[in-house]
Chains A and B, each alone.
Chain A
């Protein structure tokens, strides 16, 4: 597609439920990143996929968080047993061959856990 597409744009869920957030990167971009932006905070790195290599999961805050990237394209970020502190905007970005020339970000998914 022309840009990075994320869905849903907004998600309200009850504490304890699981949620799935989707990211469709720019066609041909081999690198895909997930970040989290909490209110009043900067961006927090979560996970990075590059081609067929093993993902860099070093930023995932707990084992309730996981992500997959199928066929080197679409990625799904799953949060199990959501907690109120998970409320944030989850941003996906993609780039060609790593990020040294900049990422293209999606518009994000605003997750609210009530």
Chain B
């Protein structure tokens, strides 16, 4: 079983839709949770960084962490064509050797 599971998609939505991206994980020692956006031929760009459980909002983006279910989500409101990219989740913990574990990424296309 992989440490982090992420549905690869592809996911295609109309402009203005609410997008939900998800990852599940198996290691309860994970404490730090991140979402990255990666455009084609570019490096991953940090979108959201959260510690432990709860919600964090930044503009149109909301990150949720449910440690009891080992489940994290990224919501994108009022999606735009410029949101078309691959979204990677990542996580780490002090008790996991400070190593980051990445999902495989979900490919998102927002259709104008």
Query: Do these two chains really belong together in a complex?
Result: no
Measured CB to CB, the residues of A under 8 A from B are none
Measured CB to CB, the residues of B under 8 A from A are none
